[in-house]
């Protein structure tokens, strides 16, 4: 196969919409086809150094379309003379780990993360750098130009299983002071196949939920940021008297946690716990989070001697900012956590779970008590409002101008985080779907309601064709 998935005459039919800010995702068989995957691999090869000798890692998650797409990627790379290491079906962090452990030229992971089962897509690394933004657009442009370069050399294909190497690394790095009982929920994604032996290797008693890989995701959607998806693990933790529960998303790079009482600990509060632990051994360290995170997190980092930095949402953007600033830790509300202290700085939910258990095992208190010293705040979950891609950024820009002219304090690093009534209101454009993202936090319910009224009254006058999701 040497033809691109599009010709110049059919550019309009190319699935431009699958190229997102951080990765590529679309409907498998319609937008993400074998032809698309093959051409993507050929285009990716054009971005590698001309004298590259290292192989590229290729892997997939559990989706039913994954094997065919992965094989198309492998054919495309080998057609360009690029050696390939096939990891088979693994969590995304295993592909990232392989890049560092095997010193490869990069990786192509076939995954649509937590999207529904009909979707598939790709997460890519070039060397040890994640693809995002302009890099993805450059890849798209090369695909549109129908790359057909001849192979530089005869390519090789080898299969590797790094599960034991990875298990040995994590169990050595995250040794526990005492054994714990943990419930894990893989949502029928690939993470359970790795997490269960890793956590047992740490000496834990592990109770498994939905750890059988099944690309149909028959038990619940594999997204631990949605409360409904955490109900089974919360119930099981309480039933068996576990110390905590750890859930994973569809490709194992995002974590969800419940304490021993079955209560969810959201991403910003998990990051707060990780930051406190980090700052004991690395005083003054920089910790990065996003505009959706609680002010309690930023204040607590500063109070414990750290440097708190708010940055733009997105796993690729976070990783790039960590390298730029030398930050040792970063995290998002969505459950992406990045450890550059003792680890490689990429998002790995299995490793994050091990770090959390190490932190917990070093103390005699249950997990639910570790945040008891924080002031009380009231907040909303993330609120999404449907809004066209053409309109969403203009609305955010208009809000910044309006409230800035009105004299309100704000942070505009990622949309508008407006400070008022002892709290904050967030308005930003989603980078992954046609939507606006809102969130609020305040000292009490009355202040929270006042914040909502302030922003949403203005927004309702501007929304035109938008409507609540």
Catalytic residues: 113
Task: For residues 336 and 286, give the distance between their C-alpha atoms in angstroms, rounded to a whole number.
Answer: 17
Residue 86: how many CB atoms within 10 A of its CB?
17
Q: What is the phi/psi pair of residue 131, to 5°?
A: -75, 135
Best CA proximity match to 428, nearest among 440, 419, 415: 415
Alpha carbon distance 118, 160 (integer Å): 28
Q: Could you give the 3-state DSSP secondary structure of residue 428?
A: strand
* Coil vs helix vs strand at 219: coil
**End-to-end Cα, the chain, rounded Å:** 42
Q: Are 98 and 56 in contact (CB under 8 A)?
A: no
Counts of helices then strands in the chain (DSSP H, E): 13, 23
- Exposure string of 44-61, with b = 16+ CB inside 10 Å and e = fewer, is bbebbeeebebbbbbbbb
CA–CA gap between residue 182 and residue 323 (Å, rounded): 33
């Amino acid at each position: 196969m040497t033809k691109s998935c599009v010709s110049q005459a059919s550019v309009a039919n190319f699935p431009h919409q699958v190229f997102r800010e951080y990765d590529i995702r679309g409907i498998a068989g319609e937008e993400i086809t074998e032809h698309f995957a093959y051409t993507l691999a050929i285009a990716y090869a054009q971005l590698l150094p001309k004298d590259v000798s290292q192989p590229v890692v290729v892997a997939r998650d559990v989706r039913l379309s994954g094997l065919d797409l992965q094989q198309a990627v492998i054919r495309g790379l080998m057609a360009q003379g690029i050696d390939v290491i096939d990891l088979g079906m693994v969590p995304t962090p295993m592909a990232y780990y392989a890049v560092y452990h095997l010193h490869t030229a990069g990786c192509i992971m076939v995954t649509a993360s937590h999207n529904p089962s009909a979707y598939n897509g790709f997460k890519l690394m070039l060397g040890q750098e994640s693809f995002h933004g302009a890099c993805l657009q450059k890849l798209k442009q090369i695909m549109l130009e129908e790359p057909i370069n001849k192979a530089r050399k005869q390519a090789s294909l080898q299969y590797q299983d790094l599960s034991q190497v990875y298990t040995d690394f994590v169990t050595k790095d995250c040794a526990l002071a005492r054994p714990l009982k943990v419930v894990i929920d893989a949502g029928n994604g690939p993470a359970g196949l790795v997490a269960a032996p890793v956590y047992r290797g740490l000496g834990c008693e592990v109770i498994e939920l939905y750890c059988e890989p099944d690309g149909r995701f028959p038990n619940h959607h594999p997204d631990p940021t949605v409360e409904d998806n955490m109900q089974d693990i919360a119930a099981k933790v309480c039933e068996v008297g576990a110390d905590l529960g750890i859930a994973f998303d569809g490709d194992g790079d995002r974590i969800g946690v419940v304490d021993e009482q079955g209560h969810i600990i959201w991403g910003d509060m998990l990051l707060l716990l990780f930051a406190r632990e980090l700052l004991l051994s690395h005083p003054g360290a920089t910790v990065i989070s996003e505009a959706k995170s609680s002010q309690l997190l930023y204040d607590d980092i500063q109070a414990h001697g750290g440097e708190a930095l708010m940055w733009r949402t997105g796993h690729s953007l976070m990783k790039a900012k960590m390298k730029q600033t030398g930050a040792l830790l970063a995290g998002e509300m969505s459950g992406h956590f990045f450890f550059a202290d003792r680890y490689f700085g990429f998002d790995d939910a299995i490793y994050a779970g091990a770090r959390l258990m190490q932190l917990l095992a070093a103390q005699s208190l249950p997990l639910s008590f570790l945040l008891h010293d924080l002031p009380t705040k009231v907040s909303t979950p993330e609120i999404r409002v449907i809004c066209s891609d053409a309109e969403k950024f203009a609305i955010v820009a208009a809000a910044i101008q309006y409230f800035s002219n009105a004299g309100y304090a704000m942070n505009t690093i990622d949309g508008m985080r407006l400070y008022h009534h002892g709290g904050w209101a967030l308005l930003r454009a989603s980078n992954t779907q046609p939507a606006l993202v809102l969130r609020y936090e305040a000292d009490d319910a009355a202040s929270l309601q006042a914040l909502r009224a302030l922003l949403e009254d203005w927004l309702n006058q501007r929304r035109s064709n938008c409507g609540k999701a």
